[in-house]
Amino acid sequence: MTTYQLIIADDHPVYLDALAMGISQVLTDTNIEKTSDYLCLFDILEHNADSTDLLLMDLSMPGTSGLAGLYFIRSQFPELPILVISAHDDFNVKQQCLNAGASVFLSKNTQLADIIAAITQLLQGQFSFAGKSQLQQTEQQKKLSSLTRNQYKALHLLAGGLSNKEIAQQMDITEKTVKAHVSAVLQKLEVSNRTKAAQFLGVHKDQLSL
């Protein structure tokens, strides 16, 4: 019997634990890894993308900026099924998420049975991949997708107000490497300083009515 590998990312611990428990009780052939932080999610994906069958993710987590986080994951992992579960039950939000690369969008008000039904369909391959050519990209998203994974991590930490030393500690790299990442980020985003880079990321957060 096939055992499926799932990742659930949500920064609300009660909801995260309840969803993971509910899924595992019904879909007994699944292994579930949980995280509540975007950068931690990205690390998990980097190491386990090939063996991950499905990602369930919220839009609002520490280290993410709504659509920008979803879009970047899709651009880096184009064949990964992504189920977005959001507290925002709005048609425009749903459409924005689908345009940014979500395979399926559900509200957090959705009953567990319906979430499990959607998961089952996704695991059975009943969805279409949103390849890079299909994504509806804004100019800002195009620039974001030009970043490497480490540059994107550095940008999020930078936007969180961390110094180069603190970023180096978080990413377990040298300050010299951080400076190189930050320099590349500024160049690719076509901004002149760290403040403008942080504001650039904030543009994507504002695109979604959070």
Q: Based on the fold, state whether residues 95 and 188 are members of the same structural domain.
A: no
Q: CA Rg, the chain, in Å?
A: 17
CA-closest candidate to residue 162, choices 187, 210, 127, 198: 198
CA-closest candidate to residue 138, choices 194, 71, 80, 184: 71
Q: Based on the fold, state whether residues 10 and 110 are members of the same structural domain.
A: yes
Per-residue tokens: 196: 């403008």
Q: Based on the fold, state whether residues 10 and 68 are members of the same structural domain.
A: yes
Q: Based on the fold, state whether residues 32 and 68 are members of the same structural domain.
A: yes
Tell me what pLDDT residue 134 has. Answer: 53
Tell me what pLDDT residue 38 has. Answer: 83
Q: Based on the fold, state whether residues 54 and 157 are members of the same structural domain.
A: no
* 133 is a domain residue: no
Q: Based on the fold, state whether residues 23 and 95 are members of the same structural domain.
A: yes
Residue 88: give its domain's CATH number: 3.40.50.2300
Q: Based on the fold, state whether residues 67 and 166 are members of the same structural domain.
A: no
Q: Based on the fold, state whether residues 61 and 32 are members of the same structural domain.
A: yes
Instruction: Say if pTM beats, i.e. exceeds, 0.85.
Output: no
Q: Based on the fold, state whether residues 85 and 59 are members of the same structural domain.
A: yes
Point out the domain boundary residue: 95, 123, 151: 123
What is the number of domains present in the chain?
Answer: 2
Tens digit of each residue's pLDDT, the chain (210 residues) = 689 999 999 999 999 999 999 999 999 999 999 999 888 898 899 899 899 999 999 987 876 666 778 888 888 888 899 999 998 878 888 888 888 889 999 999 999 999 999 999 999 988 766 555 455 567 777 788 889 989 999 998 998 889 999 999 999 999 999 999 999 999 999 999 998 888 776 534 443 333
Cβ neighbours of 87 (radius 10 Å): 15
* 44 is a domain residue: yes
Tell me what pLDDT residue 139 has. Answer: 77
Tell me what pLDDT residue 66 has. Answer: 67
Phi, psi of 150 (to 5 degrees): -70, -35
Point out the domain boundary residue: 97, 123, 149: 123
Cβ neighbours of 142 (radius 10 Å): 12
* 71 is a domain residue: yes
Q: What is the rounded CA–CA span in Å between residue 185 and residue 179?
A: 10
* 130 is a domain residue: no
- Strands laid side by side in the 54-57 sheet: 30-35, 4-9, 54-57, 82-86, 104-107
Query: Helix (H, G, I), strand (E, B), or coil: what is residue 9?
Result: strand
Q: Based on the fold, state whether residues 111 and 153 are members of the same structural domain.
A: no
Q: Based on the fold, state whether residues 112 and 167 are members of the same structural domain.
A: no
* 131 is a domain residue: no
Which structural domain range is residue 164 located in?
Answer: 139-207
Q: What is the rounded CA–CA span in Å between residue 121 and residue 58?
A: 19
* 119 is a domain residue: yes
Point out the domain boundary residue: 56, 88, 123: 123
Q: Based on the fold, state whether residues 190 and 113 are members of the same structural domain.
A: no
